[in-house]
Amino acid sequence: MSDLITATKTVLRERNYLALFLLLFPVIFFVFILIPVVAIPGNDFVFQLSIFAPKDYALLTILAPLVSLVITMNIFIFRRNKSIKDNLKSAGVGAAGSYSGIIATVFATASCSSCVAVLFGFLGTGAVFFAVENRWLFVTLAIGLMLVSLYFSAKKINKVCVSC
């Protein structure tokens, strides 16, 4: 945990990375709301805001800064590497962290029952009912994936883990 705090302070101490983080936070929050609006036919932005429960807003408030921080940290890592070999390696790590964020975002849509039906409908009715019934398990998994991604990014920033 202290690695994560140290790495976050290191990254956000610089103005351009702090500005990037503060810019990404509302953009990602908006994108999280926009995903079900685009995915569900006949849905609009105002209606989507009206059907969100306070738990959904709390979830978005947790996930948006986590995703913003992962992106900011990976850009920081990528720009700090000196050699092309290091950049290729960190691009792979950054891509893995970003994929983790994307997977977490998809799992996070499990908090919205109508979103689950549209996004996971190809899996069949049983899978959709399972996802709706266990949606907070999926949300917890999403937050866990984001924290794992942040953990490995923090170790790379703190130069504790060379292979990360």
Position 121, amino acid: G
Q: Structural domain of residue 111, as residue ranges?
A: 2-157
Is 60 part of any domain?
yes
| Structural domains of the chain, count | 1
- State pTM to two decimals: 0.76
Is 13 part of any domain?
yes
Is 162 part of any domain?
no
Is 163 part of any domain?
no
* Ordered per-residue pLDDT tens for the chain, 164 residues: 788 889 899 999 999 999 999 999 999 888 888 877 777 777 788 887 887 778 878 888 888 898 899 889 888 888 877 655 555 555 555 566 556 666 666 666 655 666 666 666 667 777 777 777 777 787 787 788 788 888 888 888 887 665 55
Is 42 part of any domain?
yes
Is 144 part of any domain?
yes
